[in-house]
Structure 1
Amino acid sequence: MKTDVVIIGGGVIGTAIARELSRYRLDITLIEKEDDVAMGTSKGNSGIIHAGYDADFKTLKGKLNIKSNLKFDKLCADLKVPFKRIGSLVVGFNEKDFNKVKDLKVNGEKNGVKNLEIITGDKLFRLEANLNPQAKYALYAPSAGIISPYELTIALADNAVINGVKVLLETEAKDIIIEKGQTYGILTNKGLIETRVIINAAGLYADEMAKLIGEDFKIKPLKGEYRLFDKQWGSLVGHILFPIPTKLTKGILVAPTVHNNLLIGPNSYQVEEKDDLATTEVGINEVYSGARKLVLHLPHQDLVASFTGLRANIEGRDDFIIEPSKKVKGFINVAGIKSPGLSSAPAIAEMVSDILKEVAKEISPQLELNYKDNFTETLSDQPRFTEYADKIERWQEIIERDSDYGEIICRCEKVSKGEIIRAIHQPVPARSLDAIKRRTRAGMGRCQGGFCSPRVLRIL
């Protein structure tokens, strides 16, 4: 198999790059070692689109976060991905915290974040009634938002496929083939893919891909644990609530999710194994204790799930690596994309596109990035029963066109058979119960699939 560009990794960064490059007349292949996209960090994180006040204004993280933040309204509208710009509060309790809040505001303004405000007194509790009564200050950033990270990743992949990208699942990179100091191909578990350009967006494993060409950086994963509560608690807070951040983490947050659940977490500590996704009693207690510093009266019941995510932390470096290799022509590293990686994804993809234009000039005169005439910017509307709760006559019209939309399979999340069948036939098709869950939410409710999983499996 031959192609112009291979992207290693089907997370939000790899799929964002794939969609961006699909604007050009290029033969592009994305490979992912798991059986679906969004199987790593992209399915286990807070789902926050950060305003951009935290990352140092001199870093790539700072520049790309703010550049991307402004793009999410249109991007999510185009891709039919739920996104809510609800704003965030960084909450302080003493004078030391107040000084940090002021520093964050100054840094954010240097980054270009608009409408930052330090709030005190009654105004703070009018904004967030259930905040810890001892809170004294908060940095308010109205441009922060919430999103479903795996739904964004899936939509980016679907749109890339519609525009000609090949997505090869269960395809693992085993070796990089180099000829005369230039990439020649990738050896995978399914054979050789010849390619002129390799983009290393392998997430937690980006260091192992880079090592294959002789580059030396080390990813030491940071582990974070979360708790997710039932939708009846989703209105407990109306904003994303953060504690004062540290050098390692933005801290244990309390926030509604884009699907109206309540999320708390994550803690942060280093682990050795890149597949260590176990939750721990100590960790979950730490998350609960940390969240109670922001909101005293958190629920003890109605827990839907506890889960863990890993972040690609590069040892000895606190910024993204987005650059062409100095050792091998045609190899581009996109590594160490921890927070605010999700928030920076659109701008990262544009940056990689610009790098590719320069790399192409160096390696091959024939590899030109010319825009297509027929790039498809949007995905088609995908009716979901939950969005028609107060428009039942319009849902009835959908049922009359396709009776499968009249049969509810998942009672907790109100998912119809039609939605499940559609997920199975998307451009990147759902091929497992978990893949259907990520696309439709069937099995994500209170019973966690206890009722609907056998029925979904029969449909699959």
Structure 2
Amino acid sequence: MKTKVVIIGAGISGASIARVLSRYENLEVHLIEKAPDVGWGVSKANTALIHGGYDDDPEKYPMRAKLCIRGNRLWHQWVKELQIAHVWNGALIVATKEEEFDELERLLERGHRNGVPEMRMVDKNELFHLEPSLTREAIGALWVPIVGQIAPIPAVIALVENAVANGVKTHLETEVRGVKVENGKVKGVETNGDFIEADVVINAAGLYADKIARMAGIDYFEIHPRKGEYFLFDDTVPGPKRVLFPTPTPISKGIVVTTEVSGHLMIGPNAQDLPPKEREDLATTRKGLEEVWEGAKKLWPNLPPRNRVIRTFAGLRPEPTGGDFIIKAEEEVQGFINVAGIRSPGLTSAPAIAYEITEIIRRDLGINLVEKSRWNPYRREITHFFMLRPEQINGMVKKNPAYGKIVCRCNSVSEGDILEAIERMKFIGVKTPSVDSVKFRTKATTGTCQGSFCRPRIVHLLAREYGVEPWQVTLKGRESEIGIGDIKTLLRGDEV
């Protein structure tokens, strides 16, 4: 008889756990997410860094220190198996004053304690060889070659696709409203739909992990949101070759300047602590964005004019009581495992968190895990027309003419790409057609015009493939329908 496991939250942590647990034939794994698609919570908006593991004090934050460097190493394997876009470009923590070298030396020593390889101090000459366009005030830096970057939501999508291919069942648009506990044991979860039985419940609910824990009678920690704001520039704007950090202060790591994996210069984040009730506050502010702009200029003084900005956005991080990751099987409720407070470096640590959960299930819950003989670790990336060579394009168009129709001009996304994305959405259980689901799989609508040209065509493709009216297609799930009011008459043929 299989052990039923419910994972609450399809962000980077929950998706990684689902993928790893899909290896075992005696587990029946269910992945629950309240959003219409995967990766739309904390994982959606962040700096997208695979951190180097030098930053977390192993005495104050032992879980973060242990899992960050392990996660970094695992991502080197996972991006290959799952064909996730990535770059290993390294990071420079830059000093502009002599007194900042004391902090860099502390970071170097901490990195050595955490097992970070290859990091070292570089002088001014080597620094400008590594990053020629850096501020002229820079006098040296700590160089961490193992730092990299990935695209977070495509990474979550890849993990979930692989998990579903290996037998994981997804439940999207499914909100947990209660955790059933009898005689000190987990029995399942109440949702806005059906009751889902479970022998093990893994709470990876991001900003809401404390609320889920309280449903099970566990209330020793609280999550508060920490907001970070960002600028994203047109992809014709040159950015740095490396990830650039200022020397951190006791208050902040400072504003990062980087070129993200799609080739866009990105700056941010700042850090603003919000009260627990503001867990959905993703609004940017004039004050916050000015803080980001001025902070970035200290490292990258030649910021382009603001008319080259194509998007500003904010992300929220779940800051837990005590600051460290909370990853443990709760003794008072047998079968309930918390994966809470997964703030930075949570993206980096996610693969290691998944293996930590596997060990907890074995060691603390006493469940013997039996590996599948035919578990498949591989997943093929979606077709991206803009990445194909001319001879590949010719072959694709001959097989399917849809690949010859460009829908998104900014990023050269074809109709074939979009149809493939819709097919994959359905494969993992996306029920509500949304433009954002297509965007995160194809890059359509993310270019300079931000969808002004391609969005109507995407809406019609989604409507056709999902069998709904165009005005029922959404931007990002229910209550964000594209068509409202009398605009519907244009498609119904009503007299006006």
| TM-score of Structure 1 vs Structure 2, range by shorter chain | over 0.9
- Does residue 1:304 correspond to 2:310, yes or no? yes
- Distance in 2 (CA, whole Å) between partners of 1:359 and 1:63 is 19
Aligned amino acid, residue 404 of structure 2? G
Q: Which residue pairs with 1:274 in the alignment?
A: 279
- C-alpha contact 1:213 1:327 (8 A) present in aligned 2: no
For residue 385 of structure 1, report the CA deviation from its aligned partner: 1.2
Shift of 1:105: 0.6
**Aligned pair partner of 2:224 in 220, 234, 249:** 220
Deviates most, 105-114 or 379-388: 379-388
Amino acid corresponding to residue 131 of structure 1 in structure 2 = L
Question: How has the CA–CA distance of structure 1 residues 220 and 68 changed in structure 2, closer, same or farther, with 3 Å as cutoff?
Answer: same
What is the alpha-carbon distance in structure 1 between the residues aligned to residue 284 and residue 411 of structure 2?
25
- Structure 1 residue 380, shift from structure 2 partner: 2.3
Give 1:248 shift.
5.0
Q: Write the mapping of 1:32-431 to structure 2, written as runs, cut at 5 A.
A: 32-58=33-59, 59-216=62-219, 217-233=221-237, 235-247=238-250, 249-272=252-275, 273-300=278-305, 301-315=307-321, 317-361=322-366, 368-388=368-388, 391-426=389-424, 427-428=427-428, 431=433
Deviations 1:287-328 (A, max 9, x none): 00010011111112311110000000013x121010011220
Distance 1:417 1:207 in 2: 42
Give the drift of 1:74.
2.0
Q: Distance in 2 between matches of 1:359 and 1:454?
A: 52
Cα separation, 1, equivalents of 2:300 and 2:180: 53
Deviation at 1:428, TM superposition (A): 2.0
SS in 1 for 2:224: coil
What is residue 435 of structure 2 aligned with on the other side? 433
Alignment of structure 1 residues 435-454 onto 2, 5 Å:
435-454=437-456
Distance across 2 between alignment mates of 1:321 and 1:254: 30
State the match for 2:473 in structure 1. none
- The answer to whether the Cα contact below 8 Å between 2:170 and 2:429 also exists between their aligned partners in 1 is no
Contact 2:179-2:216 within 8 A present in 1 as well: yes
Task: Indicate if the aligned counterparts of 1:132 and 1:296 stay in contact, CA closer than 8 A.
Answer: yes
SS in 1 for 2:117: coil
Distance 1:393 1:409 in 2: 20
Cα distance in 2 for partners of 1:249, 1:450 equals 37
Deviation at residue 57 of structure 1 after TM alignment: 3.0
1:364 maps to which residue?
Answer: none
Q: Deviations over 1:259-278 (max 9, x none)?
A: 00010000001012000000
CA distance in 2, matches of 1:169, 1:175: 17
1:21 has 2:26 as partner: no
The offset of 1:429, in angstroms, is: 5.4
TM-score normalized with structure 1 length: 0.96
**CA RMSD across the alignment:** 1.3
**How many residues matched?**
450
Question: Contact 2:91–2:147 at 8 Å: present in 1 too?
Answer: yes
Amino acid at match of 2:318: A
* Structure 1 runs not aligned, ≥5 long: 362-366
Structure 2 unpaired stretches of 5+: 463-496
Q: Work out the CA distance in 2 between the residues paired with 1:429 and 1:228.
A: 31
Native 8 Å contact 1:321 1:336 kept in 2 = yes
Deviates more, 1:29-38 or 1:210-219: 210-219
- 1:4 counterpart letter in structure 2: K
SS of equivalent residue, structure 1 residue 232:
coil
SS at match of 2:223: coil
Q: 1:154 to 1:381 in 2, by over 3 A?
A: closer
Relative to structure 1, the CA distance from residue 381 to residue 340 in structure 2 (aligned partners, 3 Å threshold; closer, same or farther) is closer
Identity of matched residues, %: 43
Q: Is the 8 A contact 2:382 2:421 kept in 1?
A: no
Compute the displacement of 1:245 (Å). Answer: 2.0
SS of the residue 2:30 aligns to: strand
Q: For 2:249 and 2:342, locate their aligned partners in 1 and report how far apart those are by CA, in whole Å.
A: 18
Paired with 2:436 and 2:249, the residues of 1 have a C-alpha distance of 34
Q: State the alpha-carbon separation in 2 of the partners of residues 334 and 159 from structure 1.
A: 21
Q: Distance between the aligned counterparts of 1:459 and 1:147, measured in 2?
A: 28
Deviation at 1:214, TM superposition (A): 2.1
